[in-house]
Amino acid sequence: MSEVDLGSLNAAIGRAVARHRVRSGLTQEQLGQELGLRDEAISRLERGVVMPSVAKLVELADIFDCNVADLMTEGSSRSSDQAKHLGQLLGKLNGDDRTMVLELVERLTGRLTRR
């Protein structure tokens, strides 16, 4: 992987960690305590300055009750990863809400592809 790719991966994982932390109602300090890290380390991780080790990714997934792969793919620019993430988000909705979101996505993609 090139440095640009690693930087993008760091940033994507950082954004995913931040989203999961906020959803979990944790502060950076609280997450740091659970991981045995200082809140400054959590801030650097969330900003994509540092890449968490595989062991830390596993710990994060346990804390957030998600898969390690979720932390790595939520912010991915690969369309297959994005589709998987959308599928997970849609799976949380009832049938009517899912239909509404799909209709919105179809309209948006139609409009954007005509540009």
Give per-residue pLDDT as tens, 32-77: 999 999 999 999 999 999 999 999 999 999 999 998 988 888 767 7
> 82 Cβ partners below 8 Å, 6+ apart?
76
Give per-residue pLDDT as tens, 16-39: 999 999 999 999 999 999 999 999
Contact 16, 74 (CB under 8 A): yes
| Boundaries of every domain in the chain | 3-73, 79-113
Question: Is the pTM value of this prediction over 0.85?
Answer: no
Q: Which fold has domain 3-73?
A: 434 Repressor (Amino-terminal Domain) (1.10.260)
